[in-house]
Structure 1
Amino acid sequence: MDIFTEYFFQRALIGGLLIGLTAPLMGVFLVLRRLSMIGDTLAHVSIAGVALGFLINVYPLGVGLVFALLASFAIERLRKAYKTYAELSIAIIMSGGVALATLLFTLGKGFNMNVMSYLFGSIYTLDSTDLWVVLVVCVLVIGVIAFHFKEFFLMFFDEDAASVSGLPLKFYNMMITMLTALVISVAIKIVGALLVSSLLTIPVACSLLIARSFKHSVFLAILFSEIAVIVGLIVAGIWDLAPGGTVVLSLIAILIGIILKRGLRI
């Protein structure tokens, strides 16, 4: 295939594989925390940062990353304020992110088409700087999770036991939210803000149907994600389709296949 010899496709494949590794890794913990929708929230806030980056002529992905981190702090703060209705924090921050992004869109002149690539993904436009940012985030996420894997496992499966054992739950909750913000902010240029939560949740949904243990579910989620990235990019490259859409549809196809194989009703 000629597309494999093209530098833009090689960069896209590298970036896609890196996000395909980190997104489901974070997604497993988010699903266990019942925070599957946090991906959409942080993605919308990141878009507001991207819009501001274009407006002030500063690296858009970097500004989006800062916005996502600030939003992660705000979400954890609001979750403590609304302990009984913790999901309100997600709804509030998403509303604020959408409102701010809309305001910045109206202030900008001539940059809206650039922002659209972050809404729907533009993996073929990844440059060396983007790849380095994605790589740094990938290494950071893998390193933190590997170092604190036992603590995260205990916290998400039995938070009361984790608290009694002396784990700083507030610190670990904030760490997970911040890592999620980093992954989402760098992933929006690859699959787009409108689809980024799919990489966090659908691979996990696939793995939970057939996994035999927690570690097995993590492994399967990453495996399904990487398969979808490779298949989606190849299909998009051959038939000139939107790569973000083909990656997500590949994930959905895997999910449907697993459900049908298990004999479950859709």
Structure 2
Amino acid sequence: MTYLQFGYVRYALIVGVLIALCSSLLGVTLVLKRFSYIGDGLSHVAFGAMAVAGVLHLSNNMLLVLPVTMICAILLLRPGRNARIKGDAAIAMISVGALAVGYLLLNIFKSSGNLAGDVCTTLFGSMSILTLRPAEVWLCFGLSIAVIILFLFFYNRIFAVTFDEDFARATGTKADAYNLLIATVIAVIIVLAMNLVGSLLISALIIFPAMSAMRVFKSFRSVTVCSAVLSVCCALAGLLISILAGTPTGSTIVAADIAAFLVCCGIAKLQRRTVS
């Protein structure tokens, strides 16, 4: 394909595959822990942090966005038995609040004459992944590799905390520490994924591959592997289609994820008919 001759296309494909892979690995854990909506909440936090970084004219907004998103992820995923505000309400409050404050700051401190375009790009991803600089690609590559290594190294502990946190504690597993690890990794994935699909579509990148895999497989390992394969394939398909057809990158990738989910639902129905 002639498009692969261009560096920006190769950068986009590399970053897209890595982000999709990282999102799928933790997506299964979030779905099983009933924290599917946390991706949406944290993406809005990242949007608000990006707005603040823009107001402060930071040359690298990652220096503010990543720590703020990590802190909010830790607050949302920490044990909440004694919390006055429960998980779903806390996610909703942080999500709406950060989104509103971010948009308010962008309007008050306008840094460009195309506010609507800037907001649309941040929320929906647009074609921003095709304008990545080599430094951003290397940063994404390093963070993605770190996420993958952490997941593989702590796979058994993450598995235990995901399915039965109380039992994991009883067997000596430091569940709070691994919840903290999950929260940190999720925050990194959210910040990275904003360049790919935008803040409003990040949840789809995390949830759809996991839900698709769960239609076909039952074991945690099989679901995780299938989710990773589906996520990477959909990201590649979405990126290539968006480049060839000129469609928004984020929306096209999510559309590919939806198509894969429908196919998996069809496969699940065929499996049930075969068994019966």
Shift of 1:56: 1.5
Report 1:41-120 matches (<5 A). 41-58=41-58, 59-76=60-77, 79-82=80-83, 85-111=86-112, 112=115, 113-120=117-124
Report 1:182-261 matches (<5 A). 182-261=188-267
Give the Cα separation in 2 of the matches to 1:19 and 1:230. 11
Structure 2 counterpart of 1:172, from 178, 201, 204: 178
SS in 2 for 1:193: coil
**How far does the alpha carbon of each residue in 1:168-214 deviate from its partner, in whole angstroms, 9 at most, with x for none?**
22111121111101110111011100111111000001100111421
Residues 19-28 or 63-72, more deviating: 63-72
Give the Cα separation in 1 of the matches to 2:234 and 2:93. 32
SS in 2 for 1:79: coil
Structure 2 match to 1:34: 34
Shift of 1:77: 5.3
Amino acid aligned to 2:70: L
Amino acid aligned to 1:20: A
Answer yes or no: is 1:132 the counterpart of 2:133: no
Report if aligned partners of 2:51, 2:103 keep a CA contact under 8 Å in 1. Answer: no
Identity of aligned residues (%): 29
Report if aligned partners of 1:50, 1:115 keep a CA contact under 8 Å in 2. Answer: no
Structure 1 match to 2:9: 9
- Alpha carbon RMSD of aligned pairs, Å? 1.9
Question: CA 1:67/1:261 → structure 2, altered by over 3 Å: closer, same or farther?
Answer: same
Question: CA 1:76/1:222 → structure 2, altered by over 3 Å: closer, same or farther?
Answer: closer
Q: Give structure 1 stretches of 5+ with no counterpart.
A: none
Shift of 1:84: 8.8
Amino acid aligned to 2:155: F
Amino acid aligned to 2:200: L
**Number of equivalenced pairs:** 264
Amino acid aligned to 2:50: V
Shift of 1:78: 8.0
Give the Cα separation in 2 of the matches to 1:84 and 1:215. 33
Give the Cα separation in 1 of the matches to 2:84 and 2:146. 30
Structure 1 match to 2:156: 150
Give the Cα separation in 2 of the matches to 1:33 and 1:157. 7
Report if aligned partners of 1:41, 1:91 keep a CA contact under 8 Å in 2. Answer: yes
Structure 2 counterpart of 1:163, from 165, 169, 194: 169
Give the Cα separation in 2 of the matches to 1:30 and 1:156. 8
Shift of 1:64: 1.8
Amino acid aligned to 1:120: F
Question: CA 1:5/1:97 → structure 2, altered by over 3 Å: closer, same or farther?
Answer: same
SS in 1 for 2:80: helix
User: How high is the TM-score relative to the length of structure 1?
Assistant: 0.93
SS in 2 for 1:110: coil
Residues 202-211 or 79-88, more deviating: 79-88
Q: Give structure 2 stretches of 5+ with no counterpart.
A: 271-276
SS in 2 for 1:263: helix
